[in-house]
Amino acid sequence: MYIPVAKPFIGSEELSKVKEVFDTGWLGMGSVVPEFEESLRAYLGARHAIAVNTGTSALHITLTSLDIKKGDEVILPSLTFVSTPHAALACNAKVVFCDVQPHTLNVDIGDIRKKITGRTRAIMPVHYSGMPCDMDDILKLAKKNGIHVVEDAAHAIGSKYKGRMIGSFGDVSCFSFDPIKVITCGEGGAVATNNDRLAKKIVIKRIMGIDKDTYSRYKNRRSWFYRVKDLGYRYHMSNINAAIGMVQLKKIDVFLGRRRKIAKVYDDNLKDIKEVGLIRKDYDSIAPFNYIIKVTGNKRARLMEFLKDREIETGVHYIPNHLQPFFKKFKVRLPVTEKIAGEILTLPLYYGMKDDDVNRVVSAIKQFFMR
């Protein structure tokens, strides 16, 4: 009876592929990882797709590979998961929070423009809930100022911007494949880029700065020999996670079709409730990661309790980072972000959600506002 806000859809096919990995005895980074990378690269239409262990790792390794360091500034929205600012702080850079647009909840390019200084080295737009940011304007602004653009595409696998797949253009895009994303590797992430030099650097950094991974070394006669060429991390993906991702990627179009159908049912049934604001979306081009509404009139907390009593889970994506205790020292005012912080509410959305489940959520919300 309980309806969670998100849930992975995995089964016998994923288990069978993992068993193949178990049978080889090579559980770490081996031959399945490059297979997954090639499938992902082909799907995205990117020159390079580099698999890592988490989406957070993807963000951090990208920034450090771009030589973001102490004294540099990175502009990013406060309305994002803490991974985004933490990736910049892990490089000892200064985080500069920007505001978002009220109708899309994506970065406000006007506010970004105001916050660019001579120390700005990167902009990190977040494709919130799978809705692509206005990338043409962001890339144009960045090029004019000599700034890198690192897209946080954790929500946006399968989304398109003006007919172009997120990850196929621009500087670099970072994806997440944790358990609740559109597709999962169990845990995992990836960096997509068309920049050969950047890709080569990330490939080396993801496995302790060593020029060849263990699997490649042990295929050669001099298996004991390796060279450390850069500062690196244990950010590589395992064969186990890549095996799950291989199967999931083949299902992505089916997953997205169902998610879009559910989102449209929500739209159609909630659009006439005056206290509910919908986020503008073009479902022909976006891959909906989650479904967000804005609840006005200071009713969000009561609605969440009402739904909880009916065994329907909801969430808040996200509590703005600049309002968190750790980031209060930044002392920035973001009027739009702060207003919507008390309104946004995440409703259940996942591939395995039944029609009856969707109708239960809709009926409960209508019941709440009709009391």
Question: Does the residue 7 lie in any domain?
Answer: no
Does 262 lie in the same domain as 233?
A: no
pLDDT at 174: 99
Domain coverage including residue 92: 12-250
250, 272, 301: which is the final residue of a domain?
250
Does 338 lie in the same domain as 212?
A: no
Q: What is the pLDDT along the chain (371 residues), one digit of tens a residue?
A: 899 999 999 999 999 999 999 999 999 999 999 999 999 999 999 999 999 999 999 999 999 999 999 999 999 999 999 999 999 999 999 999 999 999 999 999 999 999 999 999 999 999 999 999 999 999 999 999 999 999 999 999 999 999 999 999 999 999 999 999 999 999 999 999 999 999 999 999 999 999 876 555 555 555 667 889 999 999 999 999 999 999 999 999 999 999 999 999 999 999 999 999 999 888 989 999 999 999 999 999 999 999 999 999 999 999 999 999 999 888 899 999 999 999 999 999 999 999 999 999 999 999 999 98
Q: Coil, strand or helix: which one is 63? A: helix
For the whole model, what pTM was predicted?
0.95
Question: Does the residue 322 lie in any domain?
Answer: yes
pLDDT at 212: 73
Does 54 lie in the same domain as 27?
A: yes
DSSP 338-371: HHHHTTEEEEP--TT--HHHHHHHHHHHHHHHH-
Does 27 lie in the same domain as 131?
A: yes
pLDDT at 181: 98
Instruction: Label the pairing between strands 73-77 and 94-98.
Output: parallel
pLDDT at 225: 78
Query: Catalytic residue positions?
Result: 181
DSSP 116-141: --TTEEEE--B-GGG----HHHHHHH
Which residues lie across from 3 on neighbouring strands?
A: 312
pLDDT at 216: 59
Does 356 lie in the same domain as 293?
A: yes
